[in-house]
Amino acid sequence: MKTPTPLTRRTFTKLGLGAGLGWLGGLGQLPLARSAVSSDYKALVCIFLAGGNDGHNTIIPLTAGGSPVADYVNSRPTLALPSTNAKILLPIAVAQPNPYGSAFGLHPSLAKIAELYAAGRAAVIANTGLLDAPITRAQFQSKNTGNSVAMFSHSDQTNLVQTGLATGGDGSGWGGRLADLAQPAGSELPLSCVSLDYSSVFATGRRVQPTRIIPGNNFAQYALGYLGPSDPRVMAQTNLVAQGTQLRLVDKANETMQRAIELNKILTSAGTATPLNVFPTSPIGQQLGEVARIIKISGNLGLSRQVFYCKHFGYDTHGGQDWAHARLLADLDAAVGVFQKELNDMQAAGKVTTFTSSEFGRTLQPSGTGSDHGWGGHQFVIGGAVNGGKFYGRFPTLVLGGPDDAGTRGVLLPTTSVAQVGATLAAWFGAPAAAMGNLFPNLAAFPADQQNLGFML
């Protein structure tokens, strides 16, 4: 982990720490020594692949001889990955019915995830995307869809995917709404929702607001960070920011600082909770290292449920996709591999489920040396509680203008919705069946026997 960097009041405000102050009153009595993750503990870790991951070059159908199938090669002649030379696809087996049999390969950068898949600790959610109801090619082309607004827009689709609603919502994300359910009546537990990015709709609830944390930062202050809590200057500041001034802007700034001071007590107490493994220095590696550190102190905070949001940038590969995508997936794979090892060493692998998400997939048809904004794509679910080594959902036909293409360029119509994936994770997290309509208002539009996809044990 990096050495903690002190933050200024301006940065505290940028991180949004002034929201959700209900937990401040009880922090003075919290035991801040390290404790074990509770037996009932569960956490969801979302890794958002920002920009729109190309699932077509992440998971590739193979012939019996190990080469990519003709549909895939013909649809993207300049982007298709070869099975020989420097790019040897990592074989995985699939038992579920699909257009291409049982032989598939992962991108050669995904060696750790391939191992997790083979061990039954990772699953593939095939051709998932933002849908408010099932859709056919004919319905889409006749515009009789009732589905996603502002398609192909990064900002709009990012927000909508994180709300779980293709036609908009109330500004809350489904991860935050799930965390709402886990809060005690009338209060909010600290670090129930944590975003390792500045902004996260996913981790924003109707009650719970995400705590935004920069990896390796303990919210120390430049001026007073070297002083102990009993120093008169520190005590004076603590008392000052707790006082109301009847000036709304000043009070809000003081609340922000008050929360940061209290978070500093929590996070600095985690000094002995330094990860056992060395996480990669990449941004996603450092984010997952911070997640591991916070999970280790969850027992100190009385937390049995936590939601985390991480963001991995760079997947908008309009050009140079060959090298850029390989580097991105290698960073993701290395970080996930160390994170899973850390959870194993913590004996928490079955208590934490990690999943990838993205605003949309990419087109099958190349656009020069890259690809354009698409719709459906493939995602991973990883963890000891995953019923892994399988595909869930229906793998699409990779034919331009084919039955799964919204048009002629390979914008694939999703066959599994974000809501179905989220509802399956929410059920494992402990959400009751009666709450699913509140978490995912569009879930009822999908067949009852497909609302839980069954990828969690």
Sequence letter at residue 371: S
> In the beta sheet, which residues pair with residue 382?
122, 354
What residues contact 119, with CB distance under 8 A and at least 6 apart?
Answer: 388, 389
Cα–Cα distance measured from residue 144 to residue 289, given in angstroms and rounded to the nearest whole number = 45
Residue 16: predicted pLDDT: 42
Q: How many CB atoms lie within 10 A of CB 276?
A: 12
Beta strands across the sheet bearing 90-93: 59-61, 103-106, 90-93
Residue 84: predicted pLDDT: 75
Tokens of 128: 């998932």
Cα–Cα distance measured from residue 62 to residue 266, given in angstroms and rounded to the nearest whole number = 50
Mean pLDDT of successive 10-residue segments in the chain (457 residues)? 42 40 39 55 98 98 94 97 84 93 96 98 97 91 72 94 89 96 86 92 94 80 65 77 79 73 73 85 97 90 94 97 97 98 97 98 97 98 98 97 96 97 98 96 96 98
**For residues 41, 291, 173 and 18, what is the CA-based torsion angle, rounded to 10 degrees?**
110
Least Cα distance to 277 among 50, 112, 124, 31 occurs for 112
Residue 8: predicted pLDDT: 43
Tokens of 127: 């051709």
Sequence letter at residue 30: L
Q: How many CB atoms lie within 10 A of CB 230?
A: 7
